[in-house]
A = this chain, B = another copy of it.
């Protein structure tokens, strides 16, 4: 116990009958602890209401200084703050950088001096070979959140979401309501998350015996305009869709505006599903049915993995996908002319 009566890690280690290093590994979410041991330690941490000690001030003791540099390609979306909330909840100082805004105009990865930071979390960025070399040179461990492309190396640690399962769930929901003309709007076609979601969409259609019409698959940037333009194209088809699965909530809002401007009511005339579950999905009118990415949990997981690597002084090479979840609100309903859920074919 500390002087003020709070338990220390030693207290927990003694009670669990394990080494201090093992307790630390559990705290840092390391894999190399037996499941039973992990459980026992975790229970004792909970029982003692262990709270991590006050952060070391940044400069007081260089050997204990821990930093995470949280790098966003752009701080241009409420998406950022959801991830940040998770990272910031971890017991470490978090320096936030918006990559295009680096004051020296150099790429963000070139800013690291050797051992300058404890580690980096990079959000939705394309990690170039040059970036990877810079990070290796500075010996900076890092974790990618929602990586844009396939990785060159399995040693790179990543945290993502189950995009394929999300695409599947969204499409199954619309099929279950009776829709057969279901469109999908993806992000840029080359992006890993887009490919996984469209693949989940296709799998759901195939399982239901609904023919995939390539005309109903569109791509656009993950922004409002991307959704708006794709919806305009879809509405202009001879046989337009009765439901649209958008690639992001922001795209879905663009679809909704295109619908409003052409006199389509949601969900009466058009069902709409988003992706992300940003706060404003709840605030939309009607509240948006969407596939939730656990963004805050993804941030927390990435920080926890990174702290483990910093402690070990080496990369772990883990790829984690957290579960997506369909959140049904008020933007989806049976297609026009149908009053209830229909059979699957």
Contact = CB atoms under 8 A, between A and B. Distances in A.
A88 B59 contact: no
A154 interface: no
A5 interface: no
Contacts of A256: 285
A105 interface: yes
Interface stretch (A17-25, A90-98, A179-187, A316-324): A90-98
Given A250-B283, A257-B285, A280-B78, A58 B55 contact: no
A106 interface: yes
A42 B89 CA distance: 41
A282 interface: yes
A253 B106 contact: no
Contacts of A94: 95-96
Contact of A253 (B70, B111, B280): B280
Interface string A272-292: 000000111011111100000
A195 interface: no
Contacts of A53: 104
Interface string A240-262: 00000000001001101101100
A60 interface: yes
B51 A105 contact: yes
B103 A51 contact: yes
Interface string A95-121: 111100101111000010100110000
Closest 6 CB pairs of A and B: A78-B78, A91-B103, A253-B283, A54-B104, A256-B285, A81-B81
Interface in A59-91: 59-60, 62, 65, 67, 70, 75-78, 80-81, 84-85, 88-91
A219 interface: no
A209 interface: no
A87 to B, nearest CB: 9
A57 B138 CA distance: 13
A336 interface: no
7 contacts: A51-B104, A70-B96, A76-B85, A76-B279, A78-B279, A89-B98, A94-B96
Interface in A121-156: none
A52 interface: yes
A221 interface: no
A88 B75 contact: yes
Contacts of A57: 113, 116
A96 B77 contact: no
A224 interface: yes
Contact of A55 (B52, B81, B111, B259): B111
A163 to B, nearest CB: 22
A123 B199 CA distance: 43
A280 B279 CA distance: 10
Nearest to A101: B89
A254 B280 contact: no
Contact of A54 (B54, B81, B111): B111
